[in-house]
Amino acid sequence: MPPVSVRVAAAQFAVGSDRTANLAAVLRAVAAAAGREADLVVLPEFCNHLSWYEDREHALREACVPGDAFLTEVAAAAARHRLYVKLHVTLATPAAPPVPGRTDGMRVTAASLLFAPDGTLAGRADKQTLMGSENDHLDPADSAGPVVTTELGPIGLYSCMEGVINEVCRSLSLRGARLLLNSLNSFALDEASLHIPVRAAENKVWVIAANKVGPLIPEARLAAVAGGLGIPPEALHGAGESQIVAPDGTVVAKAPRTGEALAVADIDPLGALDKHRPDGTDVFAARRPDLYGPIARSPHPVPAFVGRRAETVTAAVLRPSGTGRAAVEDAARLAAEAAARGARLLVLPELFLFPSGRVPAGGTGAEADALAAAALRTLADALSGTDALLACTVPEGPVHLGVLTGAGGPVLRVPQFHPSARHASWATRRPGPPGVHDAAWGRIALVTGDDSVQPETFRLAALAGADTVAVCFTGLEPWESALGLPERSAENRLNLVASGHGQGAVHALPADFGLWQNREGGFTGRISHPRTTTASGPVTLAEIHPAQALRRLVSRSTDLVDGRPWRLSGALVAPAGAADAVGVPTARPA
């Protein structure tokens, strides 16, 4: 059993091309963490050398090798200070079997290494999803990283791009990790504001993340590269803001944006054992791995969209008042108003007929079904003469049903397929999987109720070729709206139109997406964050951009959807309770 309180640290510093100086920075950070009595310290990504190479041979020359002076010094520092050290380096090892396309007989990986307080190597995880030019010089992981058993609790290791999508952190958490350690080499500000904290909240684990500061490319080239991109040179510096995040998504310690620093916090690893939402739903037990098969299969073409996805479409978040028939009348009025103002996708809150999205005890049955059927007819009538589509959810017998309807009636029916404690008294049937609908302007997926909490729901929508998702939800925790829905938009390249009782937002895909490109509006530091319009009042209109969903390359050779580590995602589709036994060693030697 781990101790009740563990002191952890995330160190940020600059790394250049001088191996001796880089090692000195690493040892300085370890000593600083020890001086704060930390039990564990996480260091940034690529501590041995800038992630910038002339060619494969250059990367191979600069890589660490097992037992070299760099790694030996770090191991000795861990033993000297009696703490865990999570180091990240490029690591060269003999290739067995040979790597396709490589002729040097070696594997060069981006390796996370966890040294124990006795100086031994407790675990190694190679990076599964490489970013941009890393694909030219480095080799991706050939096995999923371990969950390392320690006296601090089970630990999972990942780095940078692996946290910009959900699969790696999800897999580690399903296999029992309670502390996730993230090393970053990023100038993106949305790492700290979105991608780091959401991995803690969606998995209800602790995340300790260390980013770099200082230039991320050789200083001799900094001005030229920045000038070519039309951004200031400091925009190509590491974004700092190393942080420690609690299982509810709260950032409990954060380093500054610039400068060598240490973020330190006392945490309770046992707090990551509780996977329940406030209504009592166990979010891990509620998963549907039987429906997630496409996530762990190789990318394949989806049915082509007939026509052309629109560049811009107006969407509306509707929030009617009243209950029962009064709610129906107000919803119809708001729908007619929004459609008249040019909205083509309208979204109502989950179970808008009922206060707070909760069906009263005994509120299902023939009477509720009749009310729901009448509501759908009324809403369709409100859209008469338009091509607008409206998303809502209603009870239909023992099913919580999402419906996308037009003036001619329903065009898509999507039952909630994850169980939730809130609806356990009546929504006893959960068929699946969900489908999509092709409108004149784009392909729409519909997310019903608490399906919105599971990241796999939106991944399935992206794999089905959706460009836009209507979400009828009820957020029970702050992270679900502040982090969860924006991240589903970002990591899947989906426009989201979400409506809840007193909640809601439109998350639209930006045109200035990607790591290396000119930005007409100036560099904001955000790479994949959607443009969010928070709902206010009964009707909120905002533009979405369906055609932007076709752009999934966050950097050259790095596709946010098809680049997921599908070969190593067995834990995501393992039967409930079996994810920790999916052919993954508890540790692996360097």
Confidence at residue 361, expressed as pLDDT on a 0 to 100 scale? 62
Residues in CB range of 548: below 8 A, 6 or more apart? 467, 493, 495, 509, 510, 511, 513
Residue 206: strand, helix, or coil: strand
The DSSP call for residue 565 is: -
The amino acid present at 527, given as its one-letter code, is I
List the chain residues with pLDDT less than 50: 583-590
Confidence at residue 542, expressed as pLDDT on a 0 to 100 scale? 98
Sheet strand arrangement including 345-347: 409-415, 399-406, 389-396, 345-347, 313-318, 539-544
Residue-wise pLDDT for 174-208, tens only, equals 999 999 999 999 999 999 999 999 999 999 999 99
Confidence at residue 512, expressed as pLDDT on a 0 to 100 scale? 83
- Cis amide leading into 97 (omega within 30): yes
CA distances in angstroms from 569 to 93, 155, 289, 583, listed in the order given: 24, 18, 11, 11
* Stretch(es) of the chain classified as CATH 3.60.110.10: 6-269, 293-573
Confidence at residue 367, expressed as pLDDT on a 0 to 100 scale? 81
Confidence at residue 518, expressed as pLDDT on a 0 to 100 scale? 52
Four-CA torsion 279, 285, 291, 296, nearest 10 degrees:
120
Confidence at residue 584, expressed as pLDDT on a 0 to 100 scale? 43
Four-CA torsion 537, 521, 467, 287, nearest 10 degrees:
-70
CATH number of 6-269: 3.60.110.10
For 321-454, where are the alpha helices, taking DSSP H only? 324-340, 366-382
**CATH superfamily ID and name for 293-573:** Carbon-nitrogen hydrolase (3.60.110.10)
Q: Give the burial class of 55: count Cβ atoms within 10 A of its Cβ; 0-12 exposed, 13-18 middle, 19 or more buried.
A: exposed
Contact 543, 314 (CB under 8 A): yes
The DSSP call for residue 64 is: B
